[in-house]
Structure 1
Amino acid sequence: MMVSVFAPASIGNVSVGFDLLGAAIKPIDGEPLGDVVTASLIDSGITVTTTGRFAHKLPDDAQQNIVYQCAAYFLVQLDDDGINHKRANTSSSENSHDNPYENKRGVHLTLEKRLPIGSGLGSSASSIVACLSALNQLFGHAFSDDQLLLMMGEFEGKISGSIHYDNVAPSYLGGMQLMVEQPNKLTSTLPIIDNWYWVVAYSGASVSTAAAREVLPKTVELSTAITFAKNLAVFVDAVHNKDSHLAEAMLNDVIAEPHRQHLLPNFEQAKAQLSYLGVKTVGISGSGPTIFAVAHSLAQATAAKQCLEEHYIQHDTGFAHICQIDDIGAREITI
């Protein structure tokens, strides 16, 4: 038995919602922007194979690979819930064809690493989501969506230093997700402004989430906190009312961008160039260095993409895509 899952890239924070808002994205040209994990049962242990454009950036030691650690974590959760034990000890009346878990206590994983590491596109989240989703399907949907999402957030926290769902939730569930984090409701799916194009540009540099958090202040001024709350509240209200102009006016990052923009060479120059094209909204995707711009037409998005390719991308590993919101999230694919 083998399961392959694709998990899309995501924009964390979306400027207005630091750690609280995220959006899954898909290039309009059909190019898959996200990681793929294929999982299969083996007799014992965890083995990992890596492929893909950015596989050379992964650790040589398989045990340091995020999907290896994900699998180890997942199998512990299974044992803690008694699921692995029950399935490994299914009645002898069931043969191995009927019970794929019989005598199978290990997994082999293949990670196709399509997202650059430290890109601000939810690279670690995409690997985590694809891996845990594939494993959950492989083990007969052992955990519910909410249980799995909690596991994803907890594991992402091990990587970035704090638990937050603004990348894993949209990558898993699709759409634009507002973090609610209540016992009976983890996230809320926000309406999408249909005529927006999200132009993303990865410069080719790398910024670690942990390092980007280090530059943030430990406290903020009361006036800043009030502005942040107002912007997020009005944005949520505006998208529910399909008021695209008001929603866009609220896409202003008063928490992270002022402290992180110096980590992104050419960011200010790119914003200035985009303003000449009438693009008013430009923000940092997650921790950067990827940035995004909101365009109102395909023509404007095409011009913005060309502008970012010329004024923002610095290395041959960089790229730019015209995207829309991916409303599906993680899904099983055929390889």
Structure 2
Amino acid sequence: MKKIRAFAPASIGNVSLGFDVLGAALAPVDGTRLGDEVDIASADEFSLSCVGAFAHKLPGDADSNIVTKCYHYFCEQMVKQGLETSPVAMTLHKNLPIGSGLGSSASSIVAALAGLNSFFDSPFDEDTLLGMMGELEGQISGSIHYDNVAPCYQGGMTLMTGDTSPVTMSLPLVDHWYYTICYSGISVSTAAARDILPKQVDMATALTFGRQLGVFVHALHTGQHESAAKVMQDVIAEPYRKSLLPGFDDARAFCTNQGALAFGISGSGPTVFAVSDNLDSAQAIASYLDEHYIQNEDGFSHVCKIPAEGTLTSELSD
């Protein structure tokens, strides 16, 4: 019996300065596998089971689960290509909290579609599969965007092109930067976090956004890491979304005093992230956030790097 497992890492959407156009994968330095996994096996009929720390937060009806929708959507695309499909039994290991700002839905989608693609001998290329992932993510968030699914699938830090091929471009990574992430334990829906934003921005804000993004991309390519860090400020979403995050301003103040190069909201929140240029500072920030930013027993923090690899698939033995 053929069995495939796909692991898709957590991710930071926006990375503060790149609203909807920047994203970065996450890998804790202690080796924790921070992300969702999907197992796929041959079966007589389709089924989905859910396990893991946050499985109890999912809809009880398997038909409503995004992984089920991924399977049916994948099969539809296979049929359009004149390719055969077969029933599978899928198991979602739901390790990421829902509405956390860590790309939870993206991780489930990417693991499901990457796993199905591997199970059926890779009928779709990377760009096609990314397009499918964006389509499914859009069904949850209300609009198609790739700032979580792209880095989750491809790894690294990705810049969205706004095109269909290539969907993204990879940006150079800063090897000595650490990303301390902290999930407070509360939930913020992506749709609600988008609704709180203004429908238009003024000219000055638009110019600042464009200038910061241009400087950031250029600085990464030329190794001007200090310049890159200086422009990691969110002028689009953070001024509005931080009202949804208890303790945000105090956390920012501490992290800045601790020497953080940047501090911001991961995706829609409530997860926050701080960028440090040394491990000691990153760990001190994690300790503070554990004590002062986490709101309940579901919260956690990790010191992470951005991995060059994203989703990993492997064949399981019986």
Partner SS state of residue 83, structure 1? coil
Contact 2:40 2:88 in 1 (8 A): yes
Match of 2:195 among 214, 238, 249: 214
Q: Distance in 1 between matches of 2:131 and 2:97?
A: 24
Q: Does 1:36 align with 2:70?
A: no
For residue 297 of structure 1, what is the aligned residue in structure 2? Answer: 278
For residue 124 of structure 1, what is the aligned residue in structure 2? Answer: 105
Q: Does 1:266 align with 2:247?
A: yes
Q: Does 1:106 align with 2:79?
A: no
Q: Distance in 2 between matches of 1:181 and 1:224?
A: 21
For residue 209 of structure 2, what is the aligned residue in structure 1? Answer: 228
Partner SS state of residue 50, structure 2? strand
Unaligned 5+ runs, structure 1: 85-100
Contact 2:256 2:263 in 1 (8 A): no
Give the 3 Å change call, closer, same or farther, for CA 334–301 of structure 1 in structure 2.
Answer: farther
Q: Distance in 1 between matches of 2:285 and 2:315?
A: 34
Deviation at 1:334, TM superposition (A): 6.0
Give the 3 Å change call, closer, same or farther, for CA 208–183 of structure 1 in structure 2.
Answer: closer
Q: Does 1:181 align with 2:182?
A: no
Contact 2:127 2:164 in 1 (8 A): no
Q: Distance in 1 between matches of 2:256 and 2:232?
A: 15
Greater C-alpha radius of gyration: 1
Q: Does 1:160 align with 2:141?
A: yes
For residue 91 of structure 1, what is the aligned residue in structure 2? Answer: none
Deviation at 1:331, TM superposition (A): 0.5
For residue 21 of structure 2, what is the aligned residue in structure 1? Answer: 20
Q: Which whole-Å deviations, capped at 9, do the CAs of 1:64-119 have from their partners, x for residues lacking one?
A: 111011111111111122112xxxxxxxxxxxxxxxx6xxx212110000000000
Contact 2:261 2:277 in 1 (8 A): no
**Structure 1 length-normalised TM:** 0.92
For residue 119 of structure 2, what is the aligned residue in structure 1? Answer: 138
Partner SS state of residue 5, structure 1? strand
Partner SS state of residue 181, structure 1? coil
Q: Distance in 2 between matches of 1:157 and 1:143?
A: 20
Deviation at 1:185, TM superposition (A): 1.4
Q: Distance in 2 between matches of 1:334 and 1:312?
A: 39
For residue 325 of structure 1, what is the aligned residue in structure 2? Answer: 306
List structure 1 runs of 4+ shifted beyond 6 angstroms.
none
**Structure 2 length-normalised TM:** 0.97
Partner SS state of residue 24, structure 2? strand
Deviation at 1:183, TM superposition (A): 3.8
What code does the residue aligned with 1:271 have? R
For residue 57 of structure 1, what is the aligned residue in structure 2? Answer: 57
For residue 90 of structure 1, what is the aligned residue in structure 2? Answer: none
Percent of aligned pairs with the same amino acid: 53
Aligned residues: 315
CA RMSD of aligned residues (A): 1.0
What code does the residue aligned with 1:111 have? L
For residue 75 of structure 2, what is the aligned residue in structure 1? Answer: 75
Q: Distance in 2 between matches of 1:12 and 1:184?
A: 21
Q: Which whole-Å deviations, capped at 9, do the CAs of 1:269-316 have from their partners, x for residues lacking one?
A: 111122221224110000000000001101111111111112211111
For residue 97 of structure 1, what is the aligned residue in structure 2? Answer: none
